[in-house]
Amino acid sequence: MKSKYTRFAILFALFASLPFYLGCESDVSVGSLALTVTDGETIVANDKDFATIEATVTGFDDVPGGLGVEVDFETTLGYFANGRPAITLPVTGSDGIVISYLWAPKRTAGQLEEITIDTAVVSGTVEDTTRFVKITIIGCEEGNDPAKIELSTDESSIKGDGEEEATITATVTDCEGEGVLWADVEFRTDKILTRFSNGKMTITKTTRDEDGTVEAFLSAGRGTPPGLAKITAKSGEVSGRVSVKITVPE
């Protein structure tokens, strides 16, 4: 089990990573604002997980920039690196990017008897422009039940030749971020003619390692239309997703 001080170490590191800035008025006109979640679309309310939200400010000439422009972040659930549901950060680089971090304390959804899934709506505002993103926050009691599942693949693309395979790895963790043993994971692909090692579009595997990982193998038969195969994996009430690009054999 990780130290109960982990939360404070993470928050200190995140807050210390924020750029140092002496306020000054910006004379740059803001043309547009983009807001994206670059990491952590789903986080667990365990004081440890955090989402990375990136705001990109551009001028009316569509060139990133806006040095000195301030971005106001607000959230309906959870907290930013300053321990509050709102934070204001300035643009300090020529790329016009401002990064904020969102985390959630334990039992964010209240006194829980089972896994509860809520959505945090995060907004970023510059002058009169506001953009929104959504982050899923999973709250649960301590225990070894699945609270989060993450998917990854060793191949971003495979040929539709029935031979190449992509290894899809699911990592199932509990409320404390520890791996879950003996968790059933159902993998599913949505693309016609893509199959797992059992020859079907679904397969169920069980985690047998302490890190909570389990693998499934995906291939695409001849004649599979090129495009993305969207893979989902579900364990209990939680799910994750990843995509594999299918290409035409040479």
- Give the predicted TM-score (pTM) of the model: 0.67
H/E stretch holding 185 reads: strand 184-189
For 92-116, what is the mean pLDDT?
75
d(C-alpha 210, C-alpha 76), whole Å: 35
pLDDT of residue 32: 83
Confidence tier at 30 by pLDDT (50, 70, 90): low
d(C-alpha 188, C-alpha 229), whole Å: 10
d(C-alpha 57, C-alpha 126), whole Å: 8
Q: What is the torsional sign of CA 34, 40, 42, 46?
A: negative
Predicted confidence (pLDDT) at residue 81 exceeds the cutoff of 60: yes
d(C-alpha 99, C-alpha 88), whole Å: 11
For 90-119, what is the mean pLDDT?
77
Q: Comparing 29-38, 85-94, 123-132, 167-176, which segment has the lowest mean pLDDT? A: 29-38
Which residue spans of the chain are classified as CATH 2.60.40.10?
6-139, 148-247
For 168-192, what is the mean pLDDT?
93
Predicted confidence (pLDDT) at residue 60 exceeds the cutoff of 80: no
pLDDT of residue 142: 64
pLDDT of residue 141: 65
What are the structure tokens assigned to 233, written together?
A: 């994996």
pLDDT tens-digit readout, 33-48: 899 999 888 888 888 8
Confidence tier at 2 by pLDDT (50, 70, 90): very low
Instruction: Give me the long-range contacts of 214-217 (CB less than 8 A, separation at least 24).
Output: 214/169, 214/170, 214/172, 214/183, 214/185, 215/167, 215/168, 215/169, 215/170, 216/167, 216/168, 216/170, 216/187, 217/165, 217/166, 217/167, 217/168
pLDDT of residue 21: 37
Instruction: State the CB neighbour count (10 A cutoff) for residue 168.
Output: 25
For residue 141, give the nearest of 111, 100, 170 by alpha carbon: 111
Predicted confidence (pLDDT) at residue 176 exceeds the cutoff of 70: yes
Confidence tier at 175 by pLDDT (50, 70, 90): confident
Q: What superfamily in CATH does domain 148-247 come from?
A: Immunoglobulins (2.60.40.10)
User: To which residue do tokens 């009430």 refer?
Assistant: 237
pLDDT of residue 61: 67
pLDDT of residue 144: 73
d(C-alpha 49, C-alpha 162), whole Å: 38
Q: Is 7 helix (H, G, I), strand (E, B) or coil?
A: helix
Predicted confidence (pLDDT) at residue 29 exceeds the cutoff of 80: no
Rounded to the nearest integer, the mean pLDDT of the chain is: 83
pLDDT of residue 124: 85
Confidence tier at 114 by pLDDT (50, 70, 90): low
Higher pLDDT, 75 or 29: 75
Confidence tier at 16 by pLDDT (50, 70, 90): very low
φ, ψ for residue 6, nearest 5 deg = -55, -40
CATH number of 6-139: 2.60.40.10
